[in-house]
């Protein structure tokens, strides 16, 4: 590792947002006092050059931003508030001069949520590999699991679906938009996802039983995870899926593929009782987060069904199983 | 990723050691209730194939064991008790059939300390890269920083120094031992370091001001970190450094190189008041941990001096600066 110490010095924050932080970067471990009477929330996600991004699809700044964003999205999906993060970067020497840009991407997003960088590692490697651990806490011990969906619940989703997948295809030269602005909007959704911490926090302050998943692997995959964890059947109405004006300009087949299986939108998939919907919608509207009802939960063996006009198909994590009747 | 879901199922623990764990593997994040009134301790370390190990130097089991051990050593160096860990493994498909062995190495060590695996990630990569985050807690809010060395303190070290570096050289074919048993002992210290959690816990239960560092980068490097963080001068007597019978069979020049700069011994470097030494030694003896006095702390600009007979040299992180007088 070429000059690891000066790199660590350059990324060490000058001040901490949390007075509960006793020791951040600079010792064997970090130490902090947890928020009293609250649970701790922890997650860890890795992005690898050539697998999750290439120099063609993401700038160093965006790599840093997204590496933290995908973890904050996992905290949001528990209804939590993020407090700290740790970063390990393994990189080849050709990346050395761009590492500070990666840290700038991380810290620009961290600043928006007052999150402190408290540790990590920097090591040599052939391919840039970035792993983030994010740590947060609950609000009044409330949290949301995938296993809390009940028959009679409605299914809701934030934002729009499929934009990130379309943006990636444009970056890879596999898809063209109708104009530059359309391309830029879709690409931005892929490169700079914004974690919906605020949405999770809003729900944590309300009294409803809610199940929650962030959409990292595509709506079909996440809906199946809720169905399996909760032991219920989910019925999704395709015509109700929220799509951006940009996505709606694409071929309908691509719209369907990207909105159901695209992934990396980092929207939240929610099941909640009917009585919660209006309150959620009003609170989300105030902070500019779109919330759309896309289906309902039934009793039945764990499964997800997609209704599209007269067609009803079993939706697996990666595709359809159409019925022959 | 070839069959990520079945891999995750196979590594998900059947039971948790901690009743405070609300949700482990299987949701977006893990959730736990922190130990009441205690601080949280967190660290993160990465090991990369071709940099920290090769197929020649470590088995899959040993890679797993060591990836956790180096993190537990960082918890030990704060005087903490480990509770949870998260693992991210990035690996090429040729490693797929060995991933369970890596997890067996992780979980065999985790079992010894009743630590729960609560999350992580598995992704594709060109080179095996394993990142562990370990989480622990303090005992009665007591913890040890590098900055707590004071003039008049004595310097102590656990175990013996230099064995891991010698073991690595043997594995690389750069060094031969006098016999197989000698080689095996040195190699084991490199492949299966045992984190000194117990030593840190013993010290946390005593009332002394203590600074602590685990020896991952070599005695010289860690001593300099304490000197810098505490703003003191450390004087180390080379003749007092604890060496194994196996290391003592090597050429004296190699003994010196490995014991001062070798690293990866994961012993603890301690500074403590003279009044603590006897009590530490008695308590460590009961649990079979060797503790050796190797020097003392003086007022002075941050630096480390090595006394070797009539010779006194400034010891930098990576070498000597001899005086011309």
Closest-CA distance of chain B to residue A306, Å: 23
Residue with token string 């934002």: A159
B299 domain residue, yes or no: yes
* CATH number, domain with residue A275: 3.90.650.10
> Which residue, among A7, A1, A11, A77, has the nearest Cα to B46 in the 3D structure?
A1
Return the percentage of chain A with pLDDT > 90, whole number: 93
DSSP letter at B299? S
Contact A41 B33 (CB under 8 A): no
Structure tokens at A57: 């699809």
A104/A171 same-domain check: no
Contact B34 A22 (CB under 8 A): no
Contact B42 A120 (CB under 8 A): no
B85: nearest CA in chain A?
A42
CB B178 within 8 A of CB B249: yes
B242/B177 same-domain check: yes
Of B137, B163, B185, which one is at a domain's C-terminal end?
Answer: B137
Phi-psi region of A159 (alpha: psi -120 to 50; beta: other; left: phi over 0): left
B163/B304 same-domain check: yes
Closest-CA distance of chain A to residue B241, Å: 23
Question: How confident is residue A227, by pLDDT bands cut at 50, 70 and 90?
Answer: very high
Interface check for A29 against chain B (CB to CB < 8 A): the answer is yes
pLDDT for position A2: 53
B126/B180 same-domain check: no
* CATH number, domain with residue B127: 3.30.1330.10
pLDDT for position B3: 65
Contact B121 A27 (CB under 8 A): no
A128/A240 same-domain check: no
Q: Nearest CB to A43: which of B28, B34, B74? A: B28
B201 domain residue, yes or no: yes
Contact A46 B22 (CB under 8 A): no
A28/A173 same-domain check: no
Q: Residues 94-133, chain B: which have Cβ within 8 Å of A?
A: 118-121, 123-127, 129, 131, 133
Of B137, B163, B186, which one is at a domain's C-terminal end?
Answer: B137
A149 domain residue, yes or no: no
Cα–Cα distance between B279 and B173 in angstroms, integer?
42
A191/A281 same-domain check: yes
pLDDT for position A322: 62
**pLDDT tens track, chain B, 325 positions:** 556 667 777 778 888 999 999 999 999 999 999 999 999 999 999 999 999 999 999 999 999 999 999 999 999 999 999 999 999 999 999 999 999 999 999 999 999 999 999 999 999 999 999 999 999 999 999 999 999 999 999 999 999 999 999 999 999 999 999 999 999 999 999 999 999 999 999 999 999 999 999 999 999 999 999 999 999 999 999 999 999 999 999 999 999 999 999 999 999 999 999 999 999 999 999 999 999 999 999 999 999 999 999 999 999 998 776 654 3
Choose the mutation target among B131, B148, B224, B229 for the interface with A, i.e. most A CBs under 10 Å: B131
pLDDT for position B13: 82
Phi-psi region of A29 (alpha: psi -120 to 50; beta: other; left: phi over 0): beta
Query: Rg for chain B (alpha carbons), in Å?
Result: 20
- Average pLDDT, whole number, for chain A? 95
Which residues in chain A touch residue B32, judged by CB atoms under 8 angstroms apart?
39-40, 42
Q: For residue A22, what are the domain limits?
A: 4-137
Least confident of A52-61, A71-80, B3-12, B91-100: B3-12
A69 domain residue, yes or no: yes
A142 domain residue, yes or no: no
CB B120 within 8 A of CB A44: yes
A128/A248 same-domain check: no
B82 domain residue, yes or no: yes
Interface check for A50 against chain B (CB to CB < 8 A): the answer is yes
Of B90, B109, B137, which one is at a domain's C-terminal end?
Answer: B137
Count up the domains in chain B and report the number: 2
pLDDT for position B8: 74
B30/B115 same-domain check: yes
A24: nearest CA in chain B?
B42
Interface check for A32 against chain B (CB to CB < 8 A): the answer is yes
A174/A307 same-domain check: yes
pLDDT digits (tens, 9 = 90+) for A112-164: 999 999 999 999 999 999 999 999 999 999 999 999 999 999 999 999 999 99
Closest-CA distance of chain A to residue B309, Å: 32
Residue B305, annotated as binding a ligand: no
Q: Residues 220-239, chain B: which have Cβ within 8 Å of A?
A: 229
A132/A219 same-domain check: no
SS (H, E, C) chain A: CCCHHHHHHHHCCCCCCCCCEEECECECCEEECCCCCCCEEEEEEEEEECCCECCCCCCHHHHHHHHHHHHHHHHHCCCCEEEEEEEEEEECHHHHHHHHHHHHHHHHHHHHCCCEEEEEEEEECCCCEEEEEEEEECECCECCCCCCCCCCCEEEEECCCCHHHHHHHHHCCCCCCCCHHHHHHHHHHHHCCCCCHHHHHHHHCCCCCCEEEECCCCHHHHHHHHHHHHCCEEEEEHHHCCCCCCHHHCCHHHHHHHHHHCCCCCCEEEEECHHHHHHHHHHHHHCCCCEEEEEEEECCCCEEEEEECCEEEEECCCCEEECCC
Cα–Cα distance between A286 and B119 in angstroms, integer?
34
With a cut of 80, say whether residue A324 has pLDDT above it.
no
Choose the mutation target among A3, A27, A270 for the interface with B, i.e. most B CBs under 10 Å: A27
B145 domain residue, yes or no: no
Residue B28, annotated as binding a ligand: yes
A145 domain residue, yes or no: no
A99/A25 same-domain check: yes
Question: How confident is residue A12, by pLDDT bands cut at 50, 70 and 90?
Answer: confident
């Amino acid at each position: 590792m070429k000059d690891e110490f000066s790199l660590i010095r350059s990324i060490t924050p000058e001040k901490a947002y949390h007075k509960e932080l006793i020791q951040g970067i600079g010792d064997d471990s970090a130490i902090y006092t947890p928020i009293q009477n609250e649970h701790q929330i922890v997650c860890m996600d890795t992005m690898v050059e050539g697998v999750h991004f290439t120099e063609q699809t993401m700038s160093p700044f965006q790599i840093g931003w997204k590496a933290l964003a995908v973890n904050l999205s996992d905290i949001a999906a528990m209804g939590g508030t993020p407090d700290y993060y740790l970063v390990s970067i393994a990189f080849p020497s050709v990346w050395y001069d761009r590492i500070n840009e990666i840290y700038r991407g991380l810290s620009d997003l961290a600043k928006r949520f007052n999150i402190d960088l408290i540790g990590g590692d920097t090591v040599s490697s052939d391919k840039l590999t970035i792993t983030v651990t994010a740590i947060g806490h609950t609000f009044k011990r409330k949290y949301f699991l995938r296993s809390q969906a009940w028959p009679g619940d409605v299914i809701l989703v934030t934002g729009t679906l499929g934009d990130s997948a379309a943006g990636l295809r444009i970056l890879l030269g596999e898809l063209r938009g109708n104009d530059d602005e359309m391309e830029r909007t879709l690409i931005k959704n892929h490169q700079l996802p914004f974690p919906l911490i605020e949405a999770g926090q809003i729900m944590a302050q309300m009294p409803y039983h809610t199940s929650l998943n962030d959409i990292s692997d595509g709506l079909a995959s996440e809906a199946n995870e809720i169905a399996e964890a909760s032991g219920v059947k989910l019925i999704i109405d395709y015509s109700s899926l929220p799509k951006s004006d940009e996505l709606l300009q694409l071929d309908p087949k691509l719209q369907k593929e990207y909105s159901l299986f695209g992934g990396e939108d980092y929207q939240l998939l929610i099941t909640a009782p009917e009585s919660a919907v209006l309150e959620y919608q009003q609170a989300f509207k105030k902070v500019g987060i779109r919330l759309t009802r896309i289906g309902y939960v039934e009793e039945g063996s764990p499964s997800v069904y997609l209704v599209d006009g007269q067609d009803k198909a079993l939706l697996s994590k990666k595709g359809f199983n159409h019925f022959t009747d």
